[in-house]
């Protein structure tokens, strides 16, 4: 008997037909509804972060004019703005939102392979957002340690929100990672196992390639953040010394000894640099598809584009310490990370060239094309 | 077509902006011209690619614009073109990478003849240590830090006895001699950055880091902390002063060593009592302060703060602003204290006064004051008793009218404007967040309740 793709085995498929309003729109297992839920929640927290950035600009534009911005608030705005934008908005919107919506539709599968897990993923994500928002209202306010949360400063005197603020931030991150792992396993399994007949890997739309690779990166990178969040929680609450050396804080000895702040930075950026591509690769993929659709041309160099995505994904794990050249790490690491960092520029440049060539030979310029054309222009200029 | 015009204008505009731009590199004052060179190379490589790709795109938009009946060709791949582009990009990337690696190699290889200066960071100050005559720095340990021994130097270590300790955020180095800055932090991450030197490095508690340079210009260069280190991060300023060798030697000879610092004698309160007579006329017999004389309470104020302020008046760092008329009076009075011993004696006498709470003269909105005070509490403490480690004086239980006046002075630049008044300068930066007189009154009213 010849192989029948899972998506084509109609009789075996479980259908998730919605029964009532609640199962249709709230406790829904339908990937499209979950995608919209993810999207709305992500955009909602994004709007909060937008307000925070407006506050930062008010302070920069009119220093000390506004009574509701003091030095404490300013650092809190910076921290929460950065954290929300990178993790709670971008990661959730591209993977939870676009990923959920597009993967089954573009791969031709009925739904995600684990619909219940998918639903759970959203609700756990929502929980992490709620914990994050609560941290604005606890005594001392949210953490103001900067979005990188570098210890010792993130949990020591002298920084805003070192009580409940930082604890809730770390708990929220851990919960977010649980949510992401549930969603991520789903996206990867669906792409690998539930494509329709004829949808070979080398025929998948670049959007799906971007989302798929980003998810693999996420599954490998987020655990580093999870352990660093848990270790810092222990340092804060149980006075362990994973990241805390012997210090004299404001003339007093807080009792830590022997830990390494650099260890946190390595863990953070081992997550943090792939995170750049977790956010960027889905956008690269979507831009590729939008450009080719509206230019009414096929993608130029499709196979090269796929390999570029994979190369970027792989290389993104060996460049993390370029965020740490002057962090005090062993200076000889600098040679290695400078080299890998510039090597990753090659596949990225290839993607940009191919967008240019794809677009170059216009048959017509569509208005819709403009935002993505603008993206590829801005990215290139950047 | 408009799209093509916009693209071309963008390219022309970018080039024109680059040529006519008022923004230039900060003037170089060290041997690291190579760093600027790598930045220039990167700009050239990316600039050429930017111009080429954009002009190519504009060309295509014009050449292949919509024409009735024209059909596009189907060309999904072009191996030759893709290989060429990858190769060219690799060349461009190598051109950017190579000088970077060369300069990094120089940066991590400290010349053997470099002399050593240790820069120590803490929230939110810089201090410095020079190896003494033996050329060796003594062992240090953050756990040994105290107000007597702010560097945490091991008192048993012979190498540390002649270490020259500089309790100010200004370091001097001689011109044209390579210097290795050893970097150490007492509490959190900081970053030693001087824009004119082009190199910077984090200070990491628990380990030593370093950077090196050869200063090529004499002058005063500001040190900025470039790693977020808490609420006073923006006030963490210092300076490297590059001197001629002779001036540097003279300056170094005037600094005290670790053993001299530890051996500083206590002031003699009995001798100080006689000298206090002239102070008593305004500040009161028991240092209780007299509002009518515009003299604040000084009883109960820690001696390190009194000493610093008296010295600031003597050195012309305080009481020199035209609008600070009470400060100007004080300059005349401190002239009667002829040397450091006299200052030590008189502050020792002041320390014997009973600490009675003064009368309060200012009312305000306590709830608002409490909210504002949250920022002050980072240095002055939740109880307003101050913290020597942060150079923050006691403010609770002191003359409230005086605190209100000083806050206004800091905000207006009447006090703390002199670059040599390091800690006053910091307070000036923090005082900026108080918006008006009402805010000052509210905060002082709240301090009265502490």
Mean pLDDT of A199-220: 93
Q: Is the predicted pLDDT of residue B72 greater than 90, yes or no? A: no
Q: Say which range, A195-199, A362-366, B170-174, B270-274, has the weakest mean pLDDT.
A: A362-366
CB-closest option in B78, B142, B433 to A247: B142
Find, in chain A, the residue whose alpha carbon is nearest to that of B125: A250
Whether residue B297 has a cis bond before it, omega within 30° of 0? no
Chain A nearest CA to B203, separation (Å)? 7
Are B72 and A335 in contact (CB < 8 Å)?
A: no
A152 touches chain B (CB under 8 A): yes
Q: Is residue A319 situated within a structural domain?
A: no
Partnered with residue B173 across adjacent β-strands are: B242
- The reported pLDDT for the residue numbered A18 is 59
Enumerate the residues of chain A whose CB falls inside 8 A of the CB of residue B123.
157-158, 249-250
Quick check: is A112 in a domain?
Answer: yes
Helix (H, G, I), strand (E, B) or coil at A350: helix
Mean pLDDT of the B5-26 span? 90
- Which of the pair, A358 or A115, is modelled with greater confidence? A115
ipTM of this complex = 0.85
> Mean pLDDT, to the nearest integer, of B212-230?
93
Contact B204 A359 (CB under 8 A): no
Q: Alpha-carbon distance A34 to A47, whole Å?
A: 20
- Flag whether A32 is in a domain: yes
Q: Is residue A349 part of a domain?
A: no
Q: For residue A58, give the CATH number of its domain.
A: 1.20.210.10
**Which residues 155-214 of A have a C-beta within 8 angstroms of B?**
156-160
Q: In what order do the strands lie in the sheet with B190-193?
A: B170-174, B237-243, B219-225, B190-193, B200-203
Is B64 at the interface with chain A, CB within 8 A?
A: yes
Q: Are A261 and A152 in contact (CB under 8 A)?
A: yes
Nearest CA in chain A to B389: A251
Q: For A155, phi and psi rounded to 5 degrees?
A: -120, 15
* Residue that wins the pLDDT comparison between A294 and B276: B276
Domain carrying residue A101: 25-204
- Angstrom distance (rounded) from CA B222 to CA B29: 12
Using a 10 angstrom Cβ sphere, with 0-12 exposed, 13-18 middle and 19 or more buried, the burial of residue A257 is middle
Contact A346 B89 (CB under 8 A): yes
- Rounded mean pLDDT of chain B? 88
Who wins on pLDDT, A294 or A179?
Answer: A179
Q: How far is A32 from chain B (nearest CA, A)?
A: 32
Residue B156 in contact with partner chain A when CB distance is under 8 A: no
Longest dimension (CA), chain A: 78
User: How far away is chain A from the Cα of B8, in angstroms, using its nearest Cα?
Assistant: 13
Q: Do B89 and A152 touch (CB under 8 A)?
A: no
Residue A67 CA: distances (Å) to CA of A99, B133, B371: 42, 53, 11
Q: Which helix (H) or strand (E) holds A128?
A: helix A115-134
- Dist CA A281 CA A271 (whole Å): 15
How many domains does chain A fold into? 1
A299 within a domain of the structure (yes/no): no
Beta bridge partners of B170: B239
How far is Cα B404 from Cα B157, in angstroms, rounded to an integer?
47
Residue B365 near chain A (CB below 8 Å): no
Phi, psi of B444 (to 5 degrees): -70, -40
3 state DSSP class of B384: coil
> What does DSSP say about strands B237-243 and B219-225: parallel, antiparallel, or unpaired?
antiparallel
Shortest CA distance from A241: residue in chain B: B206
- Please name each of the domains of chain B with its CATH number: 2-65+79-107 (no CATH), 115-144+152-262 (2.60.40.420), 265-356 (1.10.760.10), 358-450 (1.10.760.10)
- When scoring B150, B187, B387 by the number of chain A Cβ atoms within 10 A, the one with the most, hence best to mutate, is B187
Distance CA A101, CA A89 (A): 16
Look at residue A4 in the predicted model and tell me its pLDDT: 66
pLDDT value for A363: 38
Residue A5 pLDDT grade (very low, low, confident, very high; cuts 50, 70, 90): low
A to B CB pairs, distance under 8 Å:
208
Quote the tokens at residue B289: 């302060």
Residue B438 at interface with chain A, using a CB cutoff of 8 Å: no
| Span A358-369, pLDDT tens digits | 554 443 343 334
List the beta bridge partners of residue B240.
B171, B221
Cα–Cα distance measured from residue A65 to residue A76, given in angstroms and rounded to the nearest whole number: 18
């Amino acid at each position: 008997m010849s192989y029948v793709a899972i998506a084509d085995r109609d009789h075996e498929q479980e259908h998730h037909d919605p029964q009532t309003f609640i199962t249709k729109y709230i406790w829904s297992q339908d990937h499209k509804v979950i995608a919209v839920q993810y999207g709305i929640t992500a955009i909602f927290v994004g709007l909060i972060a937008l307000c925070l950035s407006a506050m930062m600009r008010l302070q920069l534009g009119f220093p000390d004019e506004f009574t509701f911005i003091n030095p404490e608030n300013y650092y809190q705005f910076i921290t929460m703005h950065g954290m929300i934008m990178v993790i709670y908005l971008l990661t959730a919107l591209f993977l939870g939102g676009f990923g959920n919506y597009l993967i089954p539709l573009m791969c031709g599968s009925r739904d995600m392979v684990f619909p219940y897990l998918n639903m759970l993923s959203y609700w756990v994500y929502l929980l992490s957002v709620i914990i994050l928002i609560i941290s604005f209202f606890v005594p001392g306010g949210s953490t103001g340690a900067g979005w990188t949360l570098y210890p010792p400063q993130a949990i020591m005197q002298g920084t805003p929100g070192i009580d409940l603020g930082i604890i809730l931030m770390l708990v929220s991150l851990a919960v977010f990672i649980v949510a992401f792992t549930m969603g991520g396993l789903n996206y990867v399994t669906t792409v690998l196992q539930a494509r329709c007949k004829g949808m070979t890997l080398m025929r998948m739309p670049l959007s799906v390639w971007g989302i798929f690779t980003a998810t693999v990166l996420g599954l490998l990178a987020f655990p580093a953040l999870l352990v660093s969040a848990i270790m810092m929680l222990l340092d804060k609450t149980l006075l362990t010394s994973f990241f805390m050396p012997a210090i004299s804080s404001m003339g007093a000895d807080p009792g830590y000894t022997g830990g390494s702040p650099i260890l946190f930075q390595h863990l953070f950026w081992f997550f943090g640099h792939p995170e750049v591509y977790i956010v960027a690769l889905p956008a690269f993929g979507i831009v590729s598809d939008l450009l080719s659709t509206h230019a009414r041309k096929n993608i130029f160099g499709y196979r090269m584009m796929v390999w570029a995505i994979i190369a970027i994904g792989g290389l993104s794990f060996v460049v993390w310490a370029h965020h740490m050249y002057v962090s005090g790490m062993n200076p000889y690491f600098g040679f290695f990370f400078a080299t890998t960092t510039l090597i990753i520029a090659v596949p990225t440049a290839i993607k940009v060239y191919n967008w240019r060539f794809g677009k170059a030979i216009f048959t017509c310029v569509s208005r819709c094309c403009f935002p993505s054309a603008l993206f590829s222009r801005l990215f290139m200029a950047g | 077509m408009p799209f093509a015009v916009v693209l071309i204008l963008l390219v022309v505009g970018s080039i024109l902006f680059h040529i006519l731009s008022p923004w230039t590199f900060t003037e170089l004052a060290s041997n690291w011209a190579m760093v600027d060179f790598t930045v220039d190379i990167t700009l050239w490589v990316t600039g050429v690619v930017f111009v080429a790709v954009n002009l190519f795109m504009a060309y295509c938009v014009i050449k292949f614009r919509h024409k009735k009946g024209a059909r596009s060709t189907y060309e999904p791949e072009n191996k030759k073109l893709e290989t060429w582009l990858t190769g060219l990009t690799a060349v461009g990337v190598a051109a950017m990478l190579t000088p970077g690696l060369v300069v990094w190699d120089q940066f991590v290889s400290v010349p053997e003849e470099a002399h050593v200066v240790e820069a120590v960071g803490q929230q939110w100050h810089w201090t410095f240590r020079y190896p003494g005559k033996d050329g060796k720095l003594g062992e240090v340990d953050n756990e040994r830090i105290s107000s007597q021994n702010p560097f945490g130097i091991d008192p048993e270590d012979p190498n540390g006895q002649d270490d020259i300790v500089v309790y100010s955020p200004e370091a001097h180095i001689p011109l044209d001699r390579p210097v290795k800055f050893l970097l150490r932090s007492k509490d959190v991450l900081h970053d030693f950055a001087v824009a004119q030197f082009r190199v910077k490095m984090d200070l990491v508690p628990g380990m030593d880091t370093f950077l090196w340079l050869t200063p090529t210009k004499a002058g005063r260069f500001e040190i900025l902390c470039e790693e977020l280190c808490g609420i006073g991060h923006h006030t963490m300023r210092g300076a490297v002063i590059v001197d001629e060798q002779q001036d540097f030697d003279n300056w170094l000879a005037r600094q005290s060593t670790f053993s001299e610092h530890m051996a500083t004698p206590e002031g003699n309160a009995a001798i100080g009592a006689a000298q206090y007579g002239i102070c008593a006329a305004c500040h009161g017999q028991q240092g209780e302060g007299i509002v009518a004389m515009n003299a604040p309470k000084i009883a109960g104020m820690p001696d390190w703060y009194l000493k610093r302020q008296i010295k600031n008046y003597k050195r012309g760092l305080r009481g020199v602003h035209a609008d600070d008329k009470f400060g100007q009076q004080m300059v005349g009075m401190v002239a009667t204290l002829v040397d450091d011993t006299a200052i030590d004696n008189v502050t020792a006498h002041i320390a014997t006064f009973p600490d009675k709470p003064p009368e309060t003269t200012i009312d305000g909105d306590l709830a608002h004051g409490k909210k504002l005070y949250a920022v002050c509490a980072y240095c002055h403490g939740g109880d307003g008793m101050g913290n020597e480690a942060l150079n923050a004086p006691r403010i609770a239980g002191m003359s409230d009218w005086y605190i209100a006046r000083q806050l206004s002075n800091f905000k207006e630049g009447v006090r703390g404007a002199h670059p040599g008044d390091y800690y006053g300068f910091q307070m000036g930066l923090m005082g900026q967040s108080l918006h008006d007189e009402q805010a000052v009154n509210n905060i002082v009213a709240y301090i009265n309740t502490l």
